[in-house]
Amino acid sequence: MDRSGVSSSSPNNTSSAALLLGRQFKQMQTDKDIPGISCGLVGNSVFEWEVMLMLSDEQDSLYGGGIFRTHLTFPPTYPHLPPTLRFLTPIFHPNVYPSGEVCISILHPPEEDKYGYESAAERWSPVQTPETILLSVISMLSSPNDESPANIEAGKLWREDRKEFKRLVRKCVRDSMETGWD
């Protein structure tokens, strides 16, 4: 319940989240400012998007040339709480759990970090949009945070054996080109 005594998952909040997501989805469909990102709905639910990240070879990233399918799942309380983003295409990265779920500050709930790694300003804020999330994830791919890796092996290789890390990432990119559209 919020301060007014209304449940945060009331039908009004869900319908306002659906209206906002509908507008944001339409914006993503028509926005040509972010090349390499294609969005579609999973089923007919505006709360679950399939997003293709088609990373250009020109981007300053080891993941350039990769085609990665992801799901962006929004809670009924969006934009007050963050969505989750999960890679469906296998990806080897310090900030992506083996399950594919992304661990990035802006997708963490807007509360104090009990471990002290993130400031409140780095965490989710209702001003974030699907576009800012996806741009942050693309940026994360080129600049991993290895302080608290979601994938321990990837974090360790990133720090200690860049050559092996790059080899595994390039394999992941090659594999994604074969399976990215499946």
Catalytic annotation, residues:
103
Q: Phi and psi of 139, rounded to 5°?
A: -65, -40
SS3 66: coil
Report the candidate in 68, 60, 87, 78 with the shortest Cα–Cα distance to residue 142: 60
Lateral strand order in the sheet of 45-54 = 37-42, 45-54, 67-73, 84-87
Would you mind telling me the total number of residues written for the chain in this entry? Answer: 182
